Amino acid sequence: MKRLIWSYGGGIQTIAILTLVAEGKLPTPELAIFADTGRERSSTWEYLEEVAGPLMERLGIRFEVASHDLATVDLYAHNGDLLMPAYTTDGKLPTFCSQEWKRQVCLRRLRQLGYGPKKPVVTWYGMSLDEIHRMSDSRLQWHSHHYPLILDVPLRRIECETQIERFGLPLPRKSACWMCPHMNDAEWQEVRAHPTDWAKAVALDEEIRANDEHGGVWLHKSRVPLAQAEFADKEELPLFECADSCWT
């Protein structure tokens, strides 16, 4: 029988799942695993420490951080390509970081913990009903994917917010890296309101341009240095938990 694992993303859908477990509407997973990219927004850690962590403890869910040390690459691939979906003069780079910093890192950590062909798992992912197109099969026999917010308790993202509020928890902020180019202006404004995260994002934006040999790369869609970017006052938060096509 496959063991039940939960990929903890840290955003709205993740916390909706947690409240559904607490209400007995979903079974209790034996382990929640969170990929630490080393660049996760501070608000995600704060919510984990103050709200989600204590509830997981009360429910008996073991929480594991998959460290960024388990990634084999950081900002750049072995061939020198930038792995983040940064803006270029005429487009945007692929989101390889999500695979390298999240998916692969979690799988390596699960193997370290003894899961594998002799101890197979089914892993929950937090995509909600409005993200049905993001469902995928695993290529590994010992590791299958499951989507409780699509298959077991179908909820749209907005309904996940209602579920969290009805349960009585505060809504978490968007979960993503503090420099994620997939962020919209509302999210960039949240990062800017956190001086430590903002300073690191501004420095990284400069760093990737200093290392670039292809005409320029930028974190913000306006293709100006992040420190000079102007953020629109009103922009809807996106529908998806981990921006655009990030893995969790």
Residues that bind ligand SF4 (CB under 6 A): 37, 84-85, 95, 97-98, 101-102, 176-177, 180, 182, 242-243, 246
Whose Cβ is closer to ligand SF4: residue 20's or residue 198's? 198
Give the count of alpha carbons within 13 A of 135, CB side only: 15
Instruction: Give the pair of three-digit tokens for residue 125.
Output: 């992912």
Give min distance, CB of 155 to ligand SF4, in A.
22
Whose Cβ is closer to ligand SF4: residue 157's or residue 182's? 182
Whose Cβ is closer to ligand SF4: residue 7's or residue 19's? 7
Give min distance, CB of 81 to ligand SF4, in A.
14
Give min distance, CB of 195 to ligand SF4, in A.
20
Sign of CA dihedral 122, 123, 129, 131: negative
Full DSSP string of 12-75: HHHHHHHHHHHTTSSPPPSEEEEE--S-B-HHHHHHIIIIIHHHHHHHT-EEEEE-GGG-S-SS
Give min distance, CB of 84 to ligand SF4, in A.
5
Whose Cβ is closer to ligand SF4: residue 12's or residue 26's? 12
Give min distance, CB of 62 to ligand SF4, in A.
24
User: Residue 233, SS3?
Assistant: coil
- Site of tokens 């995260």: 197
Question: What gap in Å lies between CA 5 and CA 25, rounded to an integer?
Answer: 16
With a CB cutoff of 8 Å and minimum separation 6, the contacts of 101 are 35, 37, 38, 68, 71, 83
Whose Cβ is closer to ligand SF4: residue 68's or residue 156's? 68
